[in-house]
Amino acid sequence: MKKISTFMLFCMIWAGHQKVAKALDLDPKEIRGKSSKESVTVLQNRHFLKAFRPEAGLLVGGILDEAYLETRTYGARSGLFLSEWLGIEVAVSKAVVRDSEDRKALRRLKYAPLNSNSDAAPAGTTIQTTVSPDPEVNAIHGMTDFTAIAAPFYGKLNFINRFIIYTDLYASLGVSRVETDQGDKMALSLGAGERFYLGKDWSLRVDFKNRTFSELRGGQETRKNSYSFDFGGSYFFN
């Protein structure tokens, strides 16, 4: 009797779940009609559009590939989509730079260089000096990006059968002005990101970018790849 009751309870839960799932989906028979072999193609766009709606937003993030620095960024962006999948954008970021724990540890080290005897000192006198090793760094203090955005991939996420989250996957390409310890550098910017829509006006974004520019390392011109990420929110004006 106990086994029968457990089986009946399982059947009731399964039937209830199926009822909820069918309420949120289309019945294949209603689409295919009489033919059960005919393929089904459904293209359903968002109930709102973003073309020619100015966008403005804020962002926070950081630089990923710096061994001796910790760089956090904050800023603002604005853009405009010329179609549902192609747009332009300007983003301005400032940076807060701190020494990493590795650099702090190196600065705590003290050693006396081999040429501690000075020629200018009197004969028989030794001038003892100590120095700390300090790696060569070129900190980034700000970035201004001018990019084109292509967002051809669009999808929907069904969250626990309660509501749908619209999302775009996009790529960006453009130029950046990077403010560094060695002066302003012009960089090639290449990135990718994803946007999650919260209704027709608000959205959350995650962006990853690589900025490539030239800098001096040991007195030689070297190519630098600076990787960054940021999280942000944007608002589309009507």
Q: What are the residues facing 144 on neighbouring strands?
A: 92, 177
Q: What is the CATH number of domain 55-102+134-236?
A: 2.40.160.20
Tell which wins on pLDDT, 225 or 24: 225
Rounded Cα distance between 50 and 235, Å, is 10
pTM over 0.75: no
- The pLDDT confidence band at residue 112, using thresholds 50, 70 and 90, is confident
Q: Are 212 and 223 in contact (CB under 8 A)?
A: yes
pLDDT at 224 over 90: yes
Rounded to the nearest integer, the mean pLDDT of the chain is 82
Retrieve residue 182's tokens.
């060695």
| Euclidean distance between CA atoms 197 and 61, whole angstroms | 20
What pLDDT digit, counting tens, does each position of 46-77 carry?
Answer: 667 889 999 999 999 999 988 899 999 999 99
Mean pLDDT, range 19-30, rounded to an integer: 49
How does pLDDT run across 157-183, given as a tens digit for each residue?
887 877 788 899 999 999 999 999 999
Q: Rounded to an integer, what distance in angstroms lies between the CA atom of residue 80 and that of residue 88?
A: 6
Pick from 102-106, 114-118, 153-157: least confident: 114-118
pLDDT at 108: 84
What is the chain's Cα-based Rg? Answer: 29
Q: What residue segments make up the domains of the chain, in order of their start?
A: 55-102+134-236
